[in-house]
Structure 1
Amino acid sequence: MIPVLGYEGRKVAVLGLGRSGLATARALEAGGAEALCWDDSVEARERAEGDGFLIHDLHKADAFAGVSCLVVSPGIPHLYPEPNKLIARAWEEGVPVDNDIGLFFRSLGQGDWMEHDTPPRVVAVTGSNGKSTTSALIHHIFEENGRPCQLAGNIGRGVLDIEEPLDGEVIVLELSSYQTDLARALTPDVAVFTNLSPDHLDRHGGMGGYFAAKRRLFAEGGPDRAVIGVDEKEGRYLANQLVEGPEDLRLIRVSSGQKLSGPGWNIFARKGFLSEYRKGKQTASIDLRDMVGLPGAHNHQNACAAYAAARALNLSPRVIEGALRSFKGLPHRSQLVRERNGVRYVNDSKATNVDAAAKALQAFPRIRWIAGGLGKEGGIEALQPHLGSVAKAYLIGFSARDFALQIGDTPYEICETMEVAVAKAAAEAEEGDTVLLAPAAASFDQFPNFEKRGEAFSAEVEKLD
């Protein structure tokens, strides 16, 4: 646990008693604060009270009297589409609003571990797609090379729930826009921006607000090194804002698909090869094509970002390459479930939006595509340019029939359920095909989350004779 420092003997209200909220309350009390806990869910309050936490009704007239800070869980809206009423009340009463990420950075820099011979280093990863894989890959690289490392944030453990860092430890944080948008302190040593595509637009008041939430990780804290994906205009804009000239090596630009040039620090993947250039000279080249855990151009972009973060913390290209080869990928993200009769079955249930699905569809040469679920605004018409490798689509869920009208001339079959889709795709697949689950939709029509959807796919694949 990372005790929250700076609130000794003071009252701090905690709104939202899920995983991060309870971890925050524990960390506050470990640092000497009094945690006043509230959740509008009766069940959540009862669980917290059973764990010994003090329940404090923040709706009461004098609820914020003497409160030094309100700490909010990431799922609670604080601005768009409407501020939560309790957050708006905190504003009115002049009570600062923060989240666990802000408390983490505020406290990490004050802890005894900063007296280690090598103080802990924090790598923070944000972006639209690839955050989890990039974060997990960075963690894997350091662990494979014997460096103590912890993974937390939007993946793994809550940031305040990690172990106190050891000498020389690296802490890798995956941070969503919900987390970066509100944190009052953001001071990573290395900050990574993967890419940007439309997502969570209601929560951020549009694309500009969404990008602004991501940008805060770089603008607020001023990381020692910034790793920026420059395949979209937002990344190029952000990269430009962070440099004082073309030779500024505090910035590492990364790309998948385009060669980057110039006197700065550039890492890119083209035709399956990762290349590193520094001061105009090539310093490393890695063949990514046969790395099972990193299929496709989108994963090559993830590999470039993770490689850049590791290089920023002084690992050599040779040891990074070895770790890339041993990475097996994350569940539900281009995960190879099984190979049967020359057919690969790949679970990319995390591809819940059009951009993520497009990247998955470009990763394999001939695809039996399982798609559908609860479609998002705009549908999937934007995927039509990426369907050239799809032999047939097998459509499931609430939006199956809508999707069928949006995929042009691509052959399809309405299957409704995962069971039927897997069985049909397996029966028709030929040697060399990939049966790919890349839904391009939310899961909530048939499954509680994308993980359960991916597990259902994997279970049906394992049933095949």
Structure 2
Amino acid sequence: MIPVRGYSGHKVLVLGLGRSGLPSARALREGGAEVLVWDDGEAARAAAEAEGFAAADPTRGGGLDGVKAMIVSPGIPHLYPAPHPAVAAAWDAGVVVDNDIGLFFRSFATPAWEKFDRAPTVVCVTGSNGKSTTAALIAHVAGLAGRTVQVGGNFGRGALDLDPAEDGMVVVLELSSYQIDLARALAPDIAVFMNLSPDHLDRHGGMGGYFAAKRRLFDQGGPERSVIGVDENEGRFLANVVREEAGTGEPVIRISSGRKLSGPGWNVFARKGFLAEWRGGRQVASIDLRGVATLPGAHNHQNACAAYAVARSLGLGPKQIEAALASYPGLAHRSQLIATRADGVKVINDSKATNVDAAEKALLSFDRIRWIAGGRAKEGGIAALGPLFGRIAKAYLIGEAAEDFAATLGETPSEIAGTMERAVERALAEAEPGEVVLLAPACASFDQYASFETRGRHFEELVKAALGL
């Protein structure tokens, strides 16, 4: 736990008591604050009260009396489509609104750092897709290099639930747009922008607001090194804004998957399965990614480029990074190989593909696919995936979106399976040698599952039971 600094003796209210809320309450109490809590769910309030926290409804008269700050969990709207009533009440009462990421950055560095031989490094990773895999890759590479590593934020442990800093520690935080948008303090040493595609638009008032939230990590955070994906215009724009020197490109490392990056700056890109590093107009390293089974497809090659760029910024050598990438074990629910049947049929769990852009990346990774898709659809459905329908041997559709997806697929073979059980049964029964059974839903899970993790675990359990594993 990282004790929160700056609120000792002051009253602070924590709104939302999920994965980040309760750790925030504990860290505030550890730092000497008087902590009040609130959650719209009675069970969550009861769990917090069992730990000795007092519940106080901030929307009721006197609920914010004497409160210096309100710490809001990322799942709670703070602006669009409408602010939560408690957030609006805090505004009216003049109470500072922050989140656990803001508290982390005001509390992680302490006077004890003066005794360290090597200062800790905080790496923050954001983007629409690939954040978790990239964060896990960075941690894997840095850990094999002998660095003490922690991973948290939107993935893994809550930021304030991490351990206090040690000499030379590397902390990797995966940050969502919600977390960046509200944090009052941002101070990464290395910041990574992966990509941008339409997602969470209701929470940001459109694409402009969504990008603006991501951009705060660089504008306000002022990182010493910025690793920026430039495969979309937003990334190209951001790289240009952050650059300080026209000749060297400092402090930016541009990354890409699918095209060669030229120019005098520092570039890392992947093409035809090979990762290349160029500096000052010449190639300085190359890595063959084609044999890394846990990083299939162009999207994972972009993740590898980002992790490579961060590792180089940490002082690691190309050969050292190459060996670490080759031993990466993969991440659950993200292009995860579940099983390979005797006839060569592979089963892949990409339950994290909760939007069309992520599903596109998954579909591009394989040629003959038995596709399990559906759930609670995002805006626009799957129409944008039309050019990839030729890769689909058959689709097995589940959840609320099943009928709409079937209509969009048109002549592409499909059936409405309804449930995951039926979809797995039918896909495995019909899969032919060399094909891939792929769960890449292109949807949120909330119509049938509590989370994409729960959905992915259920898929894995069904597959292993069917194959006798």
TM norm. shorter chain > 0.5: yes
| 2:38 paired with 1:31 | no
Aligned to 2:366: 364
Identical amino acids, percent of aligned pairs? 64
Find 2:405's aligned residue among 376, 382, 403: 403
* Alpha-carbon distance, 1:401 to partner: 1.7
* Alpha-carbon distance, 1:367 to partner: 1.2
SS in 1 for 2:262: coil
SS in 2 for 1:370: strand
* Alpha-carbon distance, 1:430 to partner: 2.0
- Contact 2:348/2:437, CA 8 A, preserved across alignment: yes
Tell me, in whole angstroms, the C-alpha distance in 1 between the residues paired with 2:357 and 2:400.
20
Aligned to 1:127: 127
Q: 1:391 to 1:268 in 2, by over 3 A?
A: same
1:362-393 CA distance string (max 9 Å, x none): 00122111111222221111101122222221
RMSD: 1.3
Tell me, in whole angstroms, the C-alpha distance in 2 between the residues paired with 1:126 and 1:119.
23
SS in 1 for 2:376: coil
1:196-252 CA distance string (max 9 Å, x none): 001111111111111111110000011000000000111111111001214223100
- Contact 1:128/1:197, CA 8 A, preserved across alignment: yes
Aligned to 2:2: 2
Aligned to 2:63: 63
* Alignment of structure 1 residues 12-411 onto 2, 5 Å: 12-244=12-244, 245-340=246-341, 341-411=343-413
Tell me, in whole angstroms, the C-alpha distance in 2 between the residues paired with 1:12 and 1:397.
41
- Contact 1:273/1:287, CA 8 A, preserved across alignment: yes
SS in 2 for 1:365: coil
Tell me, in whole angstroms, the C-alpha distance in 1 between the residues paired with 2:145 and 2:364.
32
Tell me, in whole angstroms, the C-alpha distance in 1 between the residues paired with 2:121 and 2:139.
12
Query: Stretches of 4+ moved more than 3 A in 1?
Result: none
SS in 2 for 1:318: helix
* Alpha-carbon distance, 1:329 to partner: 1.3
Find 1:434's aligned residue among 433, 436, 442: 436
Tell me, in whole angstroms, the C-alpha distance in 2 between the residues paired with 1:407 and 1:100.
42
Per the normalisation by structure 2, the TM-score is 0.97
Q: 1:57 to 1:417 in 2, by over 3 A?
A: closer
Greater mean alpha carbon deviation, residues 40-49 or residues 357-366: 40-49
* Alpha-carbon distance, 1:114 to partner: 5.0
1:142-162 CA distance string (max 9 Å, x none): 112221000000011111111
SS in 2 for 1:12: strand
- Contact 1:292/1:328, CA 8 A, preserved across alignment: no
* Alignment of structure 1 residues 404-423 onto 2, 5 Å: 404-423=406-425
Tell me, in whole angstroms, the C-alpha distance in 1 between the residues paired with 2:65 and 2:416.
58
| 2:454 paired with 1:452 | yes
- Contact 1:415/1:421, CA 8 A, preserved across alignment: yes
SS in 2 for 1:387: helix
- Contact 1:345/1:436, CA 8 A, preserved across alignment: yes
1:17-76 CA distance string (max 9 Å, x none): 222111111111211221122223222221111111122332332232322211111111
- Contact 1:114/1:120, CA 8 A, preserved across alignment: no
* Alpha-carbon distance, 1:431 to partner: 1.9
Structure 2 unaligned runs (5+)?
none
Per the normalisation by structure 1, the TM-score is 0.97
Tell me, in whole angstroms, the C-alpha distance in 1 between the residues paired with 2:385 and 2:114.
48
Tell me, in whole angstroms, the C-alpha distance in 1 between the residues paired with 2:38 and 2:375.
34
* Alpha-carbon distance, 1:96 to partner: 1.2
SS in 2 for 1:275: strand
Tell me, in whole angstroms, the C-alpha distance in 2 between the residues paired with 1:193 and 1:397.
32
- Contact 2:193/2:227, CA 8 A, preserved across alignment: yes
- Contact 2:108/2:164, CA 8 A, preserved across alignment: no
Greater mean alpha carbon deviation, residues 399-408 or residues 120-129: 399-408
- Contact 1:113/1:164, CA 8 A, preserved across alignment: no
1:298-340 CA distance string (max 9 Å, x none): 0000110111111111111111111111112111110000000
Structure 1 unaligned runs (5+)?
none
* Alpha-carbon distance, 1:355 to partner: 0.5
Aligned to 1:464: 466
- Contact 2:38/2:55, CA 8 A, preserved across alignment: yes
